[in-house]
Amino acid sequence: MSGWARDYPQRLGAFGILPLPDINASLEEIRYCLDDLDFEGIGLYTNVNGVYLGDKALDPIMGELDRRGAVAFVHPAAPPESPSLPVMSLPVIEYTFDTTRAIGNLLFTQTRKRYPNIKMIFSHGGGALPFLAQRLALQSTLPFHGGRKFDESYAEMQGYYYDTAVTIGGPQFAALKAFVGSGKMLTGSDYPYMPKSAVPMAQKALIDFDGFSEDDRNRIGWTNAFELFPSLREKFPDIRA
């Protein structure tokens, strides 16, 4: 992948994947991917063998990413346990909620509060978060959940970036825009997990949603990415964000 990204800089970039749960090897992989290979960031999963983002076992990883102000792209994984629904693909529902679980765990463990410098991107429009964020923020105000201020918790969840992968309808776009605004949204396709034949439908949904202005679409399409990844300015010098 590093060779392809180097040979086709205007077509490809790369995130490093960590060999978790091995913490020491993962720390070395962060160094190698970001320092030697000049990757754009690090890829994380919502959980690894049931250990979710926000677990203290992952503090060394979070601390190193925070120290670097690195970009971390978070993709959902299967939860350690899920209902048996043999007629339905597990990712359809469980991936959506695993993203929400991870963000909730980062909130309630106050991990995000301790490591605020990581530029985190969550896939699939944040899963169920746009609908549940206020509920989570309210719960965080209870003494046994940290006794935090509602606005502080809500703003923390608004501080992440969210991509539009498999966000294919007006209600989803409307909820996500109401939650974070277009300034925290990035274009995503989920290809190849989303079949190639379905990608144009998702692209059309983004273009056709009448709740986005032209400026919103520019932000989601490329301006936000330029701000998040300064290397893109070097790869596309003719484009001004």
> 22: domain CATH number?
3.20.20.140
Cβ atoms of 19 and 29 within 8 Å: the answer is yes
Residue 163 lies in a domain: yes
Residue 45 lies in a domain: yes
41-45 and 71-75: which strand pairing? parallel
Neighbour-count burial of 76, counting CB atoms closer than 10 A to its CB (0-12 exposed, 13-18 middle, 19+ buried)? buried
Domain that holds residue 176: 2-235
pLDDT band at 99 (very low <50, low <70, confident <90, very high): very high
Q: What is the pLDDT of residue 54?
A: 98
Q: Which two tokens stand for residue 241?
A: 């964000």
Helix (H, G, I), strand (E, B) or coil at 101: helix
Residue 77 lies in a domain: yes
Residue whose pair of structure tokens reads 């703003």 in the numeric block: 155
What mean pLDDT value characterizes the chain?
A: 93
**Average pLDDT, stretch 37-55?**
97
The region, left, alpha or beta by phi > 0 then psi within -120 to 50, assigned to residue 147 is left
Angle between helices 150-158 and 91-108 (to 10 degrees): 130
What does pTM read for this prediction?
A: 0.94
**How many domains, the chain?**
1
Residue 241 lies in a domain: no
Residue 127 lies in a domain: yes
Residue 194 lies in a domain: yes
